[in-house]
Structure formats: C-alpha cells, structure tokens
Structure 1
C-alpha cells in the first residue's frame, strides 16, 4: 500500500535506543522527516491521533506492550506500516494487516530504505 500523503513524515516507534537512532538516520537520509522515536504504544497513540504521517515503522513489542492498538489505528487510516521486529509471528501479522510489510530484525539499512522509498512513491 503506497503512501497517500504528499508529506514524507514517518512515524517511528521503537524502544531499543540504538536501533531507533539507526532507523531515524536511515529514514532522514532517504528524505523523510521522522516523528519519534517513541518507545511506548501509549505515547505513540497520543501523537499519532493528531498527525498525518506518510508511513510508519513499528516494533511489535514495546515497553508498555504489543503495538496492536497503534497498528490498528494506522491501518484503519490507510497508513502504510512496516513492522520491524525480532519478535514477530509473521502469519498473524499477515492475516491481521495484509497490506503491511514485515522486516525482521536485524535488517539491512539498504533494504529498509528501499521499502520506505517504495511506500513513498
């Protein structure tokens, strides 16, 4: 599902500090502005309710639980999602979010950048 917004603002939800910094740097190099990183579902939900982002990179397990409520909200609003996690049940995510992209940790920055650029085109 390609991004339908003209802006290139990306929502980044990742609770591992260094992983979040790497993803932020990669996204900014690809021409995105990054909203986040957010380490909790509750914080990201509060922010995402008032923002219109182009796409989102979501870790599945965060400091305060599973990312499901946030992913549900984004998916309902047609925001392209990239799940980026080492703790993921691909079959469950594919069933629940068939248009989402799943990228297992660790992933190469080149691959992640390619995914984002495809979503923004």
Structure 2
C-alpha cells in the first residue's frame, strides 16, 4: 500500500477540495483520477491506504475500481451525489458513504476512521 489516499472524482473543483481536506487532515494524496480507467491504473501501480470515490466518473461508474479496492481490503469512502446509498451499503458493507455535498469535517472524520 502507498499510504496515501486515492481520489476518484471527475469534477476538478471538487477533486481539489478533497485533496485539500485530505492534506489538512494530515494524510497524503496517492493519486487523483477522473476516470475508471485511470483509477484502475493507479490501483495497479500501488494500493492506497484508503480511497474516496465518486460513483459517476467521466468514463462510467466506479464499481470496477471499488471492487478491486474492496477485494484488496482498502477502506472505501463513497462521496457522491448520484449514489444509491442502500445499494452501496449492501455491496460494500464496510464502506462509508458521505453524500455530496458533505462538509469538510464530515470527510475528515470519515478519513480518520478509514485510516485507523
């Protein structure tokens, strides 16, 4: 594992905000990706310590990457306005769900729990 936080987010401003929240919480950003393809490539390079995932990315839904991360035991934080929370909780019972928009304090708390 890289020790950093992988961010999968297709909206540039939101991605920058998440990067800032991660760094202000004392963690490093492993990679920021706007597509499922780039997210899968980042996972192949190095597993992150945790991941903050938007459900809808530029080239589709994040589930192939979430499945790979979950199988590897990487803690997941779904940060999305397009997510079916019940489906996410059923599919990824250990994941945290922070609907967009989430306050910085909510994301920091989720990161702290994921990085424990």
Interval containing the TM-score (normalised by the shorter chain):
over 0.9
The alignment covers a number of residue pairs equal to 116
In the alignment, what sits opposite 2:65? 70
> Are the aligned partners of 1:8 and 1:120 in contact in 2 as well (CA < 8 Å)?
no
Inter-partner Cα distance in structure 1 for 2:115 and 2:42? 21
Which of 72, 84, 90 pairs up with 2:79?
A: 84
* Secondary structure of 1:48 counterpart: helix
**Which string of whole-angstrom CA distances, capped at 9 and with x for unpartnered residues, describes residues 23-42 of structure 1?**
00010011111022210000
Other-structure match for 1:56: 51
Output the aligned Cα RMSD: 1.1
Which residue of structure 2 aligns with residue 118 of structure 1? Answer: 113
Q: Gapped runs of 5+ residues in structure 1?
A: none
TM-score by length of 1: 0.92
Moved segments of 4+, more than 3 Å: none
**Matched residue of 1:32: which SS?**
coil
Q: How far apart are residue 8 of structure 1 and its match?
A: 3.6
Structure with bigger RCO (C-alpha 8 Å, 6+ apart): 1
Which structure 2 residue ranges, 5 or more long, are not aligned? none
Residue 28 of structure 1 corresponds to which residue in structure 2? 23
- 1:95 matched to which residue of 2? 90
Name which of structure 1's ranges 48-57 and 63-72 shifts more when overlaid on structure 2. Answer: 48-57
Aligned-pair CA distance for 1:76: 0.2
The answer to which structure has the higher strand fraction is 1
